[in-house]
Amino acid sequence: MSDYFVKIVPKDPFCKLSEQGLKRAEESLKSKLSCDSITAECYDTPQFIDCGSDLERITCPECGADLDFGWWQEAMDHAYESHFMSLEAEMPCCRKMVSLNNLEYYFPCAFACCEIIVLNLNSGADDAENDITDSVQKILGTDIRIIRAHI
Ligand SMILES: [Zn+2]
């Protein structure tokens, strides 16, 4: 059976959260959710928080064109040279400068310096997931995004 990850990350890819804040959010989630485990991770520089095998398509947020995975991989390699501290890339379609964080990923992906990982959230708990968004945002004091991945 594959594992299902729900990753809670700040909307801002460069946002760094205090360990106490993350710990508080983790404890709060543990009291509300039924799942295998909840862990918080922090990184020095933004990491690509992916949706695993669910990534099917990436489009340009400026003109809506489909982006070639080969082009995207190259843009990712280039951005990685700066450890993702610079995410801007020129779109091959419309030549606009766009952050790799703002591309339209199907399913959603993001860049983040910290994440709270919920492993194998019980199915049918999607409502709970929506409910927690507000409370986690309040605890962390920042807007969050939720990335789901099947590995
Ligand atoms: Zn474009």
Distance from residue 86's CA to the centre of ligand 1 (Å): 19
Q: How far is CA 136 from the centre of its chain?
A: 15
**Model-level pTM?**
0.91
Structurally, at CATH architecture level, domain 1-54+107-151 sits in 2-Layer Sandwich (3.30)
pLDDT one-digit tens code per residue, 84-128: 999 999 999 999 999 999 999 999 999 999 999 999 988 665 666
The predicted pLDDT at position 123 comes to 64
What pLDDT score does 28 carry?
A: 93
Q: Cα 120 to the chain's mean position, in Å?
A: 17
Could you tell me the distance, in angstroms and rounded to a whole number, from the CA of residue 108 to the centre of ligand 1? 18
pLDDT of amino acid 133: 86
Please tell me the predicted confidence (pLDDT) of residue 124.
61
Residues (pLDDT < 50) of the chain are none
Domain range summary for the chain, segments of one domain joined by +: 1-54+107-151, 56-106
Compute the distance from residue 142 Cα to the ligand 1 centre, in Å. 29
